[in-house]
Amino acid sequence: MSGGAGFIGSHVTVELIEAGYDVIVADNLSNCDMTCFNGVKKITGREDIPFVKMDFCNPVATELLFDSNQIDAVIHFSGYKAVGESVMDPLKYYKNNLESFINVIESARDHGCSNILFSSSATVYGEPDVLPVTENTPRQPATSPYGNTKQMCEDILRDSVKAYSNIRGIALRYFNPIGAHPSALIGELPRGVPNNLVPFITQTAIGKRECLSVFGDDYPTPDGTCQRDFIDIVDLAKAHVFAVRRMLEGKMKDEYEIFNIGTGKPLSVMELIKGFEKANGVKLNYKIAPRRPGDVTAIWADPSLANKELGWKAERDIEETLAAAWAWEKHIASGE
């Protein structure tokens, strides 16, 4: 699992281990530290989870990983992910996000690893004309280099599967993963100022941030704030177990498949803020700020294909999710 020590990777590791799979976690720790990996060991009771510190942009290191292990499926999480930074430094994003994935596919192809699962994103849909979006909704031109790398990686996987008969692939298009594991031992741990909404909410609630900015309240939505499909991180992690099982058991209907991983329920930024206050009995200091360039007005998934084909469905309600996010923030603050 490339990039397996981060927010999503750590939760996926837990779910895979609990489903009976052996997992190798590989990460260069450029976006995270060992906090969540250590949390995974506590949750699973497994001190023996292999960890390899490496950079997937290094083809020799990638080759060595596949040489040294019998790998049946690879999940690719490695990649820079800050939209704003990608606009300021596009070459950093194109080099890292594309090169690392190309190296993974090459090594998988050359070492008999038939199954490649790519961590994609709803950003590929841009500002959709029709909601909710299905897997057949046309991709719009990306609004950032980050989003463009997601589109390009999907295309690289699609074309590789078509060209090399010994590999197949699944792209999971995530919507907005939020929350933390119910144990409060792993969660989202941004470096510096958070790019995502929920860590900014929890850091404001605990006093680490003075005020939360809501970017725009004049959008054409019921309350004027942007709408998103916020999905619990544990629900999202479970989707990977279903996808890996589908590949390993030979149940794919095509050599390359795409699935939306979302709840199918839109929630506005303001609804999320109010939901956090209600779930945790905490009052948030927030203010309305000008719109942020590149923000999509509204997007949410039609997850029916994933529900039907993978047998997966989002189950956790938003109050549970926001309570878990707050418990994780307090755990981090406690320094335990």
Predicted confidence (pLDDT) at residue 295 exceeds the cutoff of 90 = no
194-209 per-position pLDDT tens digit? 888 999 999 999 999 9
Q: Whole-number mean pLDDT of the chain?
A: 96
243-263 per-position pLDDT tens digit? 999 999 999 999 999 999 999
Q: Fill in the amino acid letter for 59.
A: P
Catalytic residue among 146, 174, 219, 256: 146
* Separation CA 42–CA 183 (nearest Å): 10
* Separation CA 160–CA 167 (nearest Å): 8
20-29 per-position pLDDT tens digit? 999 999 999 9
Predicted confidence (pLDDT) at residue 141 exceeds the cutoff of 80 = yes
Domains and CATH numbers, the chain: 7-328 (3.40.50.720)
Predicted confidence (pLDDT) at residue 336 exceeds the cutoff of 80 = no
Locate 316 and state its tokens: 């956790």
**Largest separation between any pair of C-alpha atoms in the chain:** 56
90-123 per-position pLDDT tens digit? 999 999 999 999 999 999 999 999 999 999 999 9
Report pLDDT for 142. 86
Predicted confidence (pLDDT) at residue 83 exceeds the cutoff of 90 = no
For this structure, is 80 an active site residue?
no
Q: What is the pTM of this model?
A: 0.96
* Separation CA 117–CA 270 (nearest Å): 34
